[in-house]
Structure 1
Amino acid sequence: MSRDWRLRIEDILGCIKRIESYTSSCTEESFAQNQLVIDAVVRNLEIIGEAARHIPEDLKTTHPEIPWAEMQAMRNLLAHEYFGVSIPIVWNTVKNNLPPLKPLLQ
């Protein structure tokens, strides 16, 4: 039995909250030098993308303002190109893409 889409949204919001906690005291430079934080952030971005993948298509269509495809694409990039993950892209996602996503999902 598949999990309810509302739980998937809660998963995404929980991951955003954890990422914010992990990076709250980081600068881009300190983030790039902290492999533990990078690993934690990457894992939570993967979970966000996987949760987005399981949102019903009709809900995605109803809410085109939410970047469903981009969340899934980031997950695929991180999962399949793990050896070449761009730290600046991850940082940009954390600082510029996640904050506006939160209110759209609440």
Structure 2
Amino acid sequence: MEYTSSNRRIIALNILKQIEEAIVKIQERTSVIHHADDFLLTSGGMEKLDAACMLLIAIGESLKNLDKVTEKKLLPTNTSIPWNDVMGVRDIIAHHYFNIDADEIWWIISKELTPLLEAIRSFIRDLSEESYSI
């Protein structure tokens, strides 16, 4: 599908806002988790792990869609995030769900989500300026 620069910007903004919302949800829902074992020791913890994994899948898929819409031009403008790795988490969780390591998911949540959120919010600020084109 062909997009105009204006359409790409609007669609990209919508995708970025969905990603922002998903990251915030993960952070809020896991605020009581302090270690990977907190996921594994209770059914409530397992529910939080399941929910976080689902949202990580959504984030990865949304980033893939964002990359398509922006013709792979937006994400490379921020080199502080390993975008292919972030998108790859989606594939790992989706295709190897029963082998998910709670330690790895906790590492992503506790160490990687805040920088990702900052990058997403930076893109939102940039794309919110009507003069910005992609």
- Contact 1:23–1:31, Cα closer than 8 Å, also in 2: no
Identity %: 25
* TM-score (normalizing by structure 2): 0.72
2:13 paired residue number? 6
* TM-score (normalizing by structure 1): 0.90
- For residue 48 of structure 2, give the secondary structure of its aligned residue in structure 1: helix
1:95 paired residue number? 110
Aligned length: 106
- 1:32 correspondence with 2:40: yes
2:100 paired residue number? 85
Alignment of 1:26-65 (within 5 A): 26-28=33-35, 29-33=37-41, 34-55=45-66, 56=70, 57-65=72-80
Which segments of structure 1 move beyond 3 Å, counting only runs of 4 or more?
A: none
- Contact 2:78–2:119, Cα closer than 8 Å, also in 1: no
Relative to structure 2, which stretch is displaced further, 51-60 or 74-83? 51-60
* Shift in Å, 1:45: 0.4
Counterpart CA distance in 2 for 1:93 and 1:103 is 15
For structure 2, list consecutive stretches of 5 or more residues without a partner in the other structure.
4-9, 122-134
More contact order relative to length (CA 8 Å, sep ≥ 6): 2
